[in-house]
Structures are given as structure tokens and as C-alpha cells.
């Protein structure tokens, strides 16, 4: 597979060209290739294709484009994401990625041959021929990188004595970028050194006129000096003051990754070199490879600087940070200044230091800086010098610097580093290698120590190292006087006590991501103070802030914090965890509307938060619960391990249930309630057990496991009857009626719902009315169903719960259209209102139902393309929710619409998939409908199978009293009539 974007867009598979001819398809593919591995949103792609005013159907048309591209490209090449689409080419498949890799390696080695290989990949402007504005913007970045590579290659070629004449390549680049003085200067040098002085002077005249005409500017001083030197026959030679000085430590030969960081630093240094002294600051957590990166950049740029100086400022050592006077003594001695010439007063040393630097170009590495104040008088002030600074603390007090904050390596980079240290064993055991770097948290220091242990034990397999590391890797990551824990300890011990306390208590947090509210709940601090302490921990890289307001501990730092927390007295740990769990419980309960909050407190007791201020600080409880969702199971697990806090397991699961269930986080609902049920096995709490059984049943119901849902609900009902809690009992019986309804036991469901209505007044939006309405609708008793839906709507208007409002409006619209009371257009408008309500509430199941209903209406209105799009949206959600009964209905609907488009083969395949899903759901009505749809599609193709399926469907639908029976009987009658005609025709032939 090869993608080419360095020139006209092209794709080849196994050496054969793949034709991508549609203009929109080429724009979409170009955008994905220009942003490889990134998810591009529908909005960005739509703007690329149509500009600032895309049509209303843009999403559907883009889906069509992607579908066409997927048919042309290998399976899985384009991936869908809730946010959009992405394409991640494999190694060597994308010419732009290969170009970037070669240029990075060429820059690291100063190798013109590698630059030449990179340049040979180009065959014109990037994405040539595609004029979409967004494509041209992204392609312009590649074009600029191309020019930069041409410049670097030409400089190396000329320095090597013009082994290959670069004038042609430079002239072509100047044609593309006629105002770039750097390019013109290189071309002038190349022409002059080729004996073409007149051409060199002509190029100067051209660029001078172009600059004046386009920008109203004269050429810069450097180009003017070059022009003068060519006129006088003397090109300027590089000036070097003083002797060559090399005091940098040895760099490593296995430097890995950090391509983007290196590129950013080198680019920033190149751009600022002419303006004055350049200062680049590299900060990061202990062990992240700050010094290694600084030495690598120094090696790349070292030839520009006669003097290489180094001083360790001991900012994070056990000893005191080096004071500026002592640092200046080290630096001046490296410059060759005699000791007797170095004054004792700090101010005089600063003056001598600046005087010495003014005479030369120097590269100075200030390692392990403690603070901005420590560096204030050490940084160079004269143009031409470069200072590289490393430190664990963000040096916010330095102005005019180029900061780079290091994260850990990517998993691929981490495995590569391990292999470079430990050898080919790592590639022979890829899974074990990946596990080693995972347990090292992709931290370079940890990987170096682990790799060294492996390298010095040639008989070990990588799997042996995995076993030694275990799940608690920190104690094993030590070698001689180096250890990851000691590196962390230095950073920790330099903190003031309030920050140390917060860090220790973060080791109790069962979740690895948290916000300031979580930190305040754990520590008991006021929220502003907790925020300040987190900011301080971020500044010293003991805590990471991957996005604003969201914090994270690196895995090894989390292990270190947990070890510190384990030394705290047990009551302190319990109270910290109690504060956290109480905050999570009350925040989860706050996501329930008042009418549901009443039911929550009926189940778990009245809630009185320990910290009202923290609850009030949650401005959007729904968004916060969405963010906390991946960690709620961790909180439940932590509570289960502490007897005093075990009650939080089922209470937190109950409080969060509605939002998790509606948004489709069914695995979390199941996991939390199953853990709670195991905790409750040790306690005699029938009410809590009944609550957990009810919500475990909800997961089985949504996954169409109706028998298991029924079993759990019947257990729950038995417990509720023992406690004589009529309202709680009624709620569970209504849930059981819903399960009966969706299982095809409609009469039984009606009987149960009417029984509940006779014994108790049902609250919470009148779910009894919904059960009755849905059952009558399934039985084809539409007038009766409509009456109950309207009664439910009136009850819903009091509480305005969006998911149930949307569901009720949807059903009313569908039934009124079936009864002929409203047109398709009116019904579509009403369904779209319901769809917006469910989408805003994040109710995935309801959104799928609304999309399905809309699709059927659009198909009946003769708009099959729009209908197919809506069907696909519905089906995608059903598959995501793993609801096989819903998926079967969605596939039947899509198949029916495909028949309208004439795609009989596609429809038949869809009906076959629907039948498989229905059988897995074990819902009789869904099975019968899928059999009927598939049977109809087989008429005229395989009539024996069609008859068998239709007869089975008729038997089931008759038992269910389902209205679909009428259509099935018509199909069977038509088959019998056709058989009769055929038998008559045969008989007539025999008579003759």
C-alpha cells in the first residue's frame, strides 16, 4: 500500500494504481493524508469540501465519500470515530511521513545523501491539483518543509565541495517561493561557486525588485552583504573567535523518539539566531530525558558554536542548588580564563562572563536548574550564543525563552529505546517488550534501568523481566546508585509540607485522573487552596495536567504516592477516602431530576453532603459525571475494600445509574452493581440487595437478555414484598412489565401494569401509562395506544424529563401518521423534535428509536437516500449498545428501505443479519418480523424457503396477536395463488 501526497495525490495497492477520481473523494482523502493519524471532524471535512457554507446534507454526503473511499482502499484503512474519521498509514506507506523521517535523520547526521533521498520523494507541489482551501493550507506546511530540506541539502553539498550541483534544485525552489531571501542567498552562492557570477548578481536584482514590488522592502543585511561580497570577489568566511572548546558531557548513542520536540527546538533556535541570544528551556518530570534531549540538540547544532560549555546547577540534587557565583567560576574556567583573573565579587564575575561571551559564539547547557532566579545572571546577553536549560520545574520567571515540556515516550518509541539498550530479544518477544514499557510507564529513566538489567543478563528472556517487575514495578527499577524512586524522592522532598501532604493523599485516590474538586475532597482543603497546591505540583512535574482542569499522576508517580500514603495512619486514609466517596456520591445524585432524586433517596436514604461547598462548585453535574464515568468503578472497588465505607458501593452505583444507563455505559452499570452485590452478600440488607438486583436487571434488559432480566426482577419483587414497600414494589413490577412487553408477552405485560395501577399511584412520569401504550401499539390497537400516550404526555409536562418527553412525542407522531391524522411532513417534524430531545439528554437508546422512526417516515415519503442515512445512524447506536433486539428491528427497517432503492441483494443480506440478531435476542416478535421480511425478499428467488419462513412467522404472529400477521397472510395467499396458476398451466399442457 502506498499513498503519495508529495505531488499529485495517488494511491497504489500491490503496485496497481487505485483510481480516486471524484473531486470530493480526493479532497477528503487528501485531508486525511495531510493529517495522518488524527481524527478529523465532520465540520473540518465539510469546510474543506464546500467552504464556509456547507449544505445541510453535508454529513450524509461525506459518509458517501468515505464509503466510496473504503471500497477502493484496504479494509480498515479509514476508521470511524464519534468525532469524525482518521487514516493512519503503516510504516513506509505515506511518502510525506517517509520524507519527515528521512529529513530528521539527515539533520541528526548532517548527511546530504539522506536529504537527497527525502527530496527525491517529491514530484511537484504537495497535493497538486486539489484547490480546496483547507487542503492548500495543510499542503503549504509540507511545501515549506520541502524548501527547508532543499536549503539544508544545498548547504551540505556546497560545504562538501559541490559533489552534486544544487543550482537546479535551488532555482526550482526559488521559482516556487520567490520572496524567501534564504533560498535566494543559497542560489547566489551556488551560482557564484559554479563560476556564474553574472547569474548570481542577476538573482539578487530579481529578489530585490520582487521584495520592493510585493512588500515595499529592501533585501536584508545578510543578502546585501552577500551581494557586495560577490561583486568584490570575496565571499565572507565564517568568523570564529577563540579556540574550540568542548565541555559537554557524552551524549547517548541510543537517543530515541522526541522527533517533534527536536523539530520545535531546532526551528525556534534557527528563527531566533539572528535576533540575539537564544534560550531554550526543557522541563519535565524526573527521568523524562531532559538532559538527553538537550545533549542531542547540542550535537545537532554544535558545529555552529566554537565553544561548548556545561554546568550542573544541582537544582534537584540532595545538595543545595549551585549558587550563581560558583556556576560562573565553572563556566569562566571552561572558557580558559585563569583563576587569578576571576574576581571574587558576584557582580564582577557577571561582567567578566558577559565580556567573554561577547567575543565568541557559545553553546551553554545549564543542567538541573532550580529556579528562574538562579539563572537570571547566567544566561548570555550577546547575539550569537545559545543557552539550553533543563529542569524539573517550569521556569515561569524567564522571559523570551523557548519552552518545551517533556512528556513520556510513546509506546512505540519506548519499545524502540528498550530494544536499542537490550538488543534483539525485545523484537523477538513483542508482547513482553510492550508489557515492560507499560510497567515502566514509558518513562525513559525507568526504561533505561530495566533495559540495562536485561542487557547484563543475556540468559534472561524479556518475559523474565516482566515477571521481576510484577505489578509494582517501582522497587525493581533500580541499578547501582540510580533508581526511579530516588529521582522522585528528590522532587518530593523539595516541596513545602502543604504540597507534600496533597501529593501523599493523592496516593489514596483510586482513580488516576481527577480534578481540583476531587483533590479538595481527599485533603479537606478549601477548593481554592487545593487548586493552588495542584498548580504547584504541576509546575514541578509531579502531577500532569493533560487538559485544563484535569489532572493525572504518571503510573510510577502514582505508585510512589501510594507508597507514601500507605505510611499514613489508617484513620487518616479512611477519612480521606470517605471525603472523596461522599463527594462523588452527592455529585452523582445531583444529576437526577428532582422527581428521580426522590426515588434515589427512597432507595439509599437522605443525602447530606459532608462538603456542600464542593457540591455547589460543580457547575455542570452532567458534564462532570460524563468525565468521571471511566473512574466510577474504581471508586466502587475502593469502597468495597474498606468495611467502614462498604455502603458506598451500592449507593454510588444507584445514584449514578440513570445517567450511565441513558448514555449507554452499560458495562459500568453492570460492573458496579455486580461488585455491590458481592459486598451485600456479607450484610443482611434486603432493601439494598433489592435495589442492586433491579439495576443489574436493567443491563440484561438493554442487552436483550430477557430471561436473566426476568429472573433478577422476580428476586427483587420477592424481597420488596417481604419489606411491604408498596411504592418500591410497584416500580419493580412496572420494570418487569416492560421486560414482558419487549419479550412479546404483551397481554401479560398489560395485566401486570393494570394490576399496579389498581394497587398504588405510580409516580415518576407514569411509566405504567407507557407500558400500556406500547403494548396496545404492538397489538395494533392504535386508538387505545394513542390515548395512553397522550395521558403520559400530560404527566410528563409536569416534570419535563427530556428522555421520556422525546419517547412519548415520538410514539404519538408515529401512531397519528399510521392513523392518517397527520402527513408525513408533519410527522417528520415531530419526530425530529423528539430526536433533538434525546440527543441533548445523551439518551442513546431513544436516539436510535427516533432515527429509526424518522427513517421509516422518510422512506414512505419517497426519500430513500435520506432514509438510508437515518437507518445507518440508528443501527450504529444499536450495535454500540449491543442491543440485539433493537438491532434486528433497525436492520429490518434498513432492508425494507433498500428494497425501495432496488437493492434486492443488499436488502436480503440485511434481513438475514436481522434474523440472526433476533434469534440471539430470543424475542419472538422480532424473530417473526425478521422471518417475514426475509421470506418476502425471497419470493421469486427461493420460494420454498420463502414459504417456510412466512409460515413460521405467521404461526408466531398469530400467537402474539400482532398486526403484522395481516401482511404475512397476504404474502402466503399470493404464493398459493402463484402455485395454483403454475399447476393449472401444467395441467393444460398435459391435456393438449
State the Cα–Cα distance between residues 320 and 331, nearest whole angstrom. 19
State the Cα–Cα distance between residues 715 and 693, nearest whole angstrom. 7
Instruction: List phi, psi (to 5°) of 731.
Output: -60, -45
Query: Looking at the structure, do residues 451 and 312 belong to the same domain, yes or no?
Result: no
Query: Looking at the structure, do residues 267 and 339 belong to the same domain, yes or no?
Result: yes
DSSP 299-338: HHHGGG-SEEEEEE--TTSSSPPPPHHHHHHHHHHHTT--
Residue 438 inside a domain? The answer is yes
State the Cα–Cα distance between residues 937 and 773, nearest whole angstrom. 31
- Give the relative orientation of helices 666-680 and 632-640 as an angle to the nearest 10 degrees: 10
How long a stretch of residues is the chain? 992
Shortest CA distance to 174 belongs to which of 146, 195, 136? Answer: 146
State the Cα–Cα distance between residues 985 and 684, nearest whole angstrom. 77
Asked if 292 and 255 touch (Cβ cutoff 8 Å), the reply is yes
368 torsion bin: left (phi>0), alpha (psi -120 to 50), beta (else): left
C-alpha distances (whole Å) from 336 to each of 341, 344, 507, 718, 735 are 10, 17, 50, 91, 86
Strand locations in 717-870, DSSP E? none
Instruction: List phi, psi (to 5°) of 373.
Output: -65, -35
Residue 391 inside a domain? The answer is yes
C-alpha distances (whole Å) from 783 to each of 745, 789, 815, 817, 828 are 20, 10, 8, 12, 20
Please give the grid coordinates belonging to residue 275.
Answer: 535576533
Query: Looking at the structure, do residues 421 and 400 belong to the same domain, yes or no?
Result: no
pLDDT at residue 695, as a whole number: 95
Asked if 555 and 441 touch (Cβ cutoff 8 Å), the reply is yes
Shortest CA distance to 141 belongs to which of 179, 100, 193, 201? Answer: 100
What's the structural domain count of the chain? 4
Asked if 280 and 386 touch (Cβ cutoff 8 Å), the reply is yes
H or E element in which residue 402 lies: strand 402-406
Last residue of a domain, one of 406, 440, 475: 406
Asked if 794 and 822 touch (Cβ cutoff 8 Å), the reply is no
Please give the grid coordinates belonging to residue 70.
Answer: 473504503
Please give the grid coordinates belonging to residue 622.
Answer: 452532567
Residue 479 inside a domain? The answer is yes
* pTM, rounded to two decimals: 0.67
Last residue of a domain, one of 349, 383, 406: 406
Show the DSSP H helices in 160-196 as ranges: 167-176, 181-193
pLDDT at residue 1, as a whole number: 82
Shortest CA distance to 167 belongs to which of 149, 148, 183? Answer: 183
Cα 542 from chain centroid (whole Å):
23
Strand locations in 19-168, DSSP E? 40-41, 78-81, 84-87
Query: Looking at the structure, do residues 128 and 46 belong to the same domain, yes or no?
Result: yes
Residue 635 inside a domain? The answer is no
Please give the grid coordinates belonging to residue 971.
Answer: 404474502
Query: Looking at the structure, do residues 277 and 402 belong to the same domain, yes or no?
Result: yes
Instruction: List phi, psi (to 5°) of 238.
Output: -60, 135
Cα 746 from chain centroid (whole Å):
43
pLDDT at residue 493, as a whole number: 86
The SS3 of residue 281 is strand
216 torsion bin: left (phi>0), alpha (psi -120 to 50), beta (else): left
Taking the CA atoms of 588, 590, 593 and 594 in sequence, report the sign of the dihedral they define.
positive
- Helix, strand, coil percentages in the chain from 3-state DSSP, rounded to 5: 65, 5, 25
pLDDT at residue 985, as a whole number: 57
Q: Residue 987: which domain range?
A: 893-992
Last residue of a domain, one of 133, 164, 195: 164
Please give the grid coordinates belonging to residue 185.
Answer: 542567498
CATH code: domain of residue 975: 1.25.40.10
Residue 802 inside a domain? The answer is no
Query: Looking at the structure, do residues 385 and 356 belong to the same domain, yes or no?
Result: yes
DSSP 881-922: HT-HHHHHHHHHHHHHHHHHTT-HHHHHHHHHHHHHHHHHHT
Label the pairing between strands 307-312 and 245-246.
Answer: parallel
Query: Looking at the structure, do residues 135 and 272 belong to the same domain, yes or no?
Result: no
Asked if 127 and 135 touch (Cβ cutoff 8 Å), the reply is yes
Shortest CA distance to 214 belongs to which of 171, 191, 181, 189? Answer: 181
DSSP letter for 475, please.
G
Cα 833 from chain centroid (whole Å):
30
Query: Looking at the structure, do residues 397 and 448 belong to the same domain, yes or no?
Result: no
Residue 744 inside a domain? The answer is no
Residue 808 has a CB neighbour count (10 Å cut-off) of: 28
pLDDT at residue 981, as a whole number: 78
Query: Looking at the structure, do residues 262 and 369 belong to the same domain, yes or no?
Result: yes
Query: Looking at the structure, do residues 375 and 474 belong to the same domain, yes or no?
Result: no
Residue 126 inside a domain? The answer is yes
CATH code: domain of residue 57: 1.10.10.10
Shortest CA distance to 937 belongs to which of 977, 967, 959, 909? Answer: 909
State the Cα–Cα distance between residues 47 and 53, nearest whole angstrom. 7
- Give the relative orientation of helices 726-742 and 767-778 as an angle to the nearest 10 degrees: 20
Taking the CA atoms of 701, 707, 708 and 709 in sequence, report the sign of the dihedral they define.
positive
pLDDT at residue 988, as a whole number: 44
Query: Exposure string (b/e) for 518-535, b if CB count within 10 Å is 16 or more?
Result: bbbbbbebebeebbbbbe
Asked if 581 and 652 touch (Cβ cutoff 8 Å), the reply is yes
37 torsion bin: left (phi>0), alpha (psi -120 to 50), beta (else): left
pLDDT, averaged in runs of 10, over the chain (992 residues) = 90 84 89 89 87 83 88 86 86 90 79 84 88 86 84 74 68 82 85 79 87 79 84 56 70 83 87 77 89 89 84 75 88 84 88 84 89 88 86 85 89 90 88 89 88 86 86 76 82 89 94 93 95 92 89 90 92 95 95 87 90 91 90 94 94 94 91 94 89 95 91 94 86 93 90 87 69 91 92 81 87 91 91 91 89 93 91 91 90 93 91 93 91 91 91 92 90 85 56 32
Taking the CA atoms of 884, 885, 890 and 894 in sequence, report the sign of the dihedral they define.
positive
pLDDT at residue 800, as a whole number: 76
CATH code: domain of residue 261: 3.40.50.300
The SS3 of residue 965 is helix
State the Cα–Cα distance between residues 4 and 139, nearest whole angstrom. 12
Shortest CA distance to 919 belongs to which of 960, 959, 952, 963? Answer: 952
Please give the grid coordinates belonging to residue 78.
Answer: 479509514
Query: Looking at the structure, do residues 397 and 423 belong to the same domain, yes or no?
Result: no
H or E element in which residue 16 lies: strand 16-18
Label the pairing between strands 84-87 and 40-41.
Answer: antiparallel
Asked if 436 and 522 touch (Cβ cutoff 8 Å), the reply is no
Residue 397 inside a domain? The answer is yes
Residue 682 has a CB neighbour count (10 Å cut-off) of: 9
Query: Looking at the structure, do residues 433 and 353 belong to the same domain, yes or no?
Result: no
Residue 612 has a CB neighbour count (10 Å cut-off) of: 10
Amino acid at each position: 500500500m502506498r499513498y503519495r501526497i508529495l505531488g499529485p495525490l495517488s494511491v497504489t495497492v500491490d503496485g496497481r494504481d487505485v483510481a480516486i477520481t471524484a473531486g470530493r473523494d480526493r479532497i477528503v482523502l487528501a485531508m486525511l493524508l495531510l493529517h495522518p493519524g488524527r481524527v478529523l471532524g465532520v465540520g473540518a471535512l465539510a469546510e474543506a469540501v464546500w467552504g464556509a457554507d456547507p449544505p445541510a446534507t453535508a454529513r450524509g454526503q461525506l459518509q458517501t465519500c468515505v464509503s466510496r473511499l473504503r471500497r477502493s482502499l484496504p479494509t480498515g484503512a479509514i476508521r470511524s470515530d464519534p468525532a469524525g474519521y482518521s487514516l493512519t498509514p503503516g510504516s513506509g506507506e505515506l511518502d510525506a511521513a517517509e520524507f519527515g523521517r528521512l529529513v530528521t535523520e539527515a539533520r541528526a547526521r548532517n548527511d546530504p545523501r539522506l536529504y537527497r533521498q527525502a527530496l527525491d520523494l517529491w514530484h511537484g507541489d504537495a497535493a497538486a491539483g486539489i484547490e480546496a482551501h483547507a487542503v492548500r493550507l495543510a499542503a503549504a506546511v509540507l511545501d515549506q518543509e520541502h524548501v527547508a530540506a532543499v536549503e539544508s541539502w544545498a548547504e551540505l553539498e556546497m560545504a562538501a565541495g559541490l559533489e552534486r550541483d544544487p543550482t537546479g534544485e535551488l532555482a526550482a525552489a526559488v521559482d516556487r517561493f520567490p520572496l524567501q531571501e534564504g533560498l535566494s542567498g543559497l542560489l547566489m552562492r551556488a551560482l557564484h561557486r559554479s563560476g556564474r557570477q553574472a547569474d548570481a548578481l542577476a538573482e539578487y536584482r530579481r529578489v530585490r525588485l520582487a521584495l520592493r514590488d510585493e512588500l515595499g522592502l529592501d533585501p536584508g543585511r545578510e543578502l546585501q552583504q552577500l551581494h557586495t561580497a560577490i561583486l568584490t570577489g570575496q565571499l565572507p568566511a565564517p568568523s570564529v573567535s577563540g579556540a574550540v572548546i568542548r565541555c559537554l558531557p557524552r551524549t547517548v548513542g541510543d537517543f530515541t523518539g522526541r522527533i517533534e520536540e527536536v523539530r520545535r527546538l531546532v526551528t525556534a533556535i534557527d528563527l531566533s539566531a539572528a535576533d540575539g541570544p537564544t534560550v531554550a528551556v526543557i522541563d519535565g518530570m524526573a527521568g523524562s530525558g531532559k538532559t538527553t534531549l538537550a545533549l542531542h540538540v547540542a550535537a545537532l547544532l554544535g558545529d555552529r558554536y566554537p565553544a561548548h560549555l556545561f554546568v550542573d546547577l544541582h537544582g534537584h540534587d540532595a545538595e543545595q542548588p549551585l549558587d550563581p557565583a560558583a556556576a560562573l567560576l565553572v563556566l569562566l574556567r571552561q572558557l580558559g580564563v585563569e583563576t587569578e583573573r576571576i574576581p571574587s565579587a558576584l557582580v564582577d564575575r557577571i561582567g567578566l562572563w558577559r565580556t567573554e561571551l561577547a567575543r565568541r559564539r557559545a553553546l551553554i547547557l545549564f543542567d538541573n536548574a532550580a529556579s528562574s532566579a538562579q539563572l537570571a545572571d547566567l544566561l548570555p546577553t550577546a547575539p550569537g550564543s545559545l543557552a539550553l536549560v533543563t529542569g524539573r520545574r517550569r521556569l515561569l520567571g524567564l522571559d523570551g525563552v523557548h519552552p518545551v515540556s517533556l512528556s513520556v515516550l510513546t509506546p512505540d518509541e519506548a519499545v524502540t529505546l528498550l530494544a536499542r539498550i537490550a538488543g534483539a530479544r525485545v523484537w523477538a518477544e513483542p508482547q513482553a517488550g510492550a508489557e515492560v514499557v507499560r510497567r515502566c510507564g514509558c518513562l525513559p529513566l525507568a526504561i533505561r534501568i530495566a533495559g540495562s538489567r536485561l542487557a547484563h543478563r543475556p540468559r534472561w528472556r524479556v518475559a523474565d523481566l516482566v515477571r521481576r517487575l510484577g505489578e509494582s514495578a517501582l522497587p525493581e527499577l533500580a541499578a547501582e546508585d540510580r533508581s526511579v524512586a530516588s529521582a522522585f524522592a528528590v522532587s518530593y522532598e523539595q516541596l513545602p509540607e502543604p504540597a507534600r501532604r496533597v501529593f501523599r493523599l493523592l496516593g489514596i485516590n483510586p482513580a488516576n485522573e481527577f480534578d481540583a474538586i476531587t483533590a479538595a475532597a481527599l485533603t479537606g482543603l478549601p477548593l481554592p487552596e487545593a487548586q493552588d497546591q495542584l498548580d504547584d505540583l504541576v509546575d514541578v512535574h509531579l502531577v500532569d495536567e493533560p487538559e485544563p482542569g484535569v489532572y493525572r499522576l504518571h503510573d510510577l508517580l502514582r505508585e510512589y504516592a501510594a507508597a507514601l500514603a500507605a505510611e499514613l495512619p489508617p484513620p487518616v486514609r479512611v477519612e480521606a477516602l470517605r471525603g472523596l466517596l461522599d463527594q462523588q456520591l452527592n455529585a452523582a445524585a445531583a444529576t437526577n431530576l428532582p422527581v428521580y432524586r426522590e426515588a434515589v433517596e427512597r432507595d439509599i436514604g437522605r443525602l447530606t453532603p459532608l462538603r456542600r461547598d464542593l457540591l455547589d462548585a460543580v457547575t455542570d453535574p452532567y458534564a462532570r459525571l460524563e468525565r468521571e464515568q471511566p473512574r466510577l468503578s474504581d471508586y466502587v472497588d475502593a469502597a468495597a475494600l474498606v468495611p467502614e465505607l462498604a455502603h458506598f458501593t451500592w449507593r454510588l452505583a444507584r445514584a449514578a445509574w440513570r445517567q450511565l444507563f441513558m448514555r449507554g455505559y452499560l458495562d459500568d452499570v453492570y460492573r458496579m452493581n455486580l461488585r455491590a452485590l458481592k459486598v451485600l452478600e456479607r450484610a443482611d440488607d434486603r432493601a439494598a440487595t433489592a435495589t442492586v438486583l433491579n439495576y443489574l436487571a436493567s443491563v440484561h434488559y438493554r442487552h436483550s437478555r430477557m430471561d436473566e432480566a426476568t429472573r433478577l426482577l422476580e428476586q427483587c419483587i420477592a424481597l420488596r414484598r417481604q419489606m411491604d414497600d408498596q411504592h418500591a414494589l410497584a416500580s419493580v413490577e412496572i420494570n418487569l412489565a416492560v421486560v414482558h412487553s419487549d419479550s412479546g408477552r404483551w397481554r401479560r405485560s398489560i395485566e401486570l401494569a393494570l394490576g399496579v395501577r389498581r394497587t398504588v399511584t405510580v409516580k415518576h412520569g407514569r411509566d405504567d401509562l407507557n407500558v400500556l401504550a406500547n403494548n396496545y401499539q404492538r397489538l395494533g390497537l392504535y386508538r387505545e395506544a394513542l390515548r395512553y400516550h397522550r395521558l403520559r404526555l400530560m404527566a410528563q409536562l409536569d416534570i419535563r424529563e427530556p428522555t421520556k418527553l422525546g419517547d412519548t412525542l415520538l410514539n404519538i407522531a408515529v401512531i397519528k401518521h399510521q392513523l392518517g391524522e397527520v402527513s408525513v411532513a408533519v410527522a417528520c417534524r415531530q419526530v425530529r423534535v423528539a430526536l433533538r430531545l434525546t440527543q441533548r439528554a445523551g439518551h442513546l437508546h431513544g436516539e436510535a428509536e427516533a432515527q429509526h422512526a424518522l427513517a421509516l417516515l422518510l422512506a414512505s415519503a419517497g426519500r430513500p437516500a435520506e432514509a438510508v442515512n437515518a437507518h445507518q445512524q440508528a443501527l450504529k447506536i444499536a450495535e454500540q449498545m449491543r442491543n440485539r433486539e433493537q438491532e434486528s428491528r433497525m436492520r429490518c427497517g434498513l432492508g425494507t428501505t433498500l428494497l425501495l432503492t432496488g437493492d434486492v441483494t443488499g436488502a436480503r443480506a440485511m434481513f438475514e443479519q436481522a434474523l440472526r440478531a433476533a434469534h440471539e435476542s430470543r424475542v419472538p416478535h422480532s424473530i417473526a418480523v425478521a422471518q417475514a421480511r426475509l421470506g418476502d425478499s425471497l419470493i421469486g428467488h427461493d420460494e420454498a424457503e420463502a414459504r417456510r419462513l412466512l409460515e413460521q412467522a405467521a404461526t408466531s404472529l398469530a400467537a402474539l396477536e400482532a398486526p403484522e400477521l395481516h401482511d404475512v397472510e397476504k404474502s402466503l395467499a399470493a404464493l398459493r395463488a402463484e402455485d395454483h396458476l403454475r399447476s393449472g398451466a401444467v395441467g393444460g399442457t398435459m391435456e393438449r
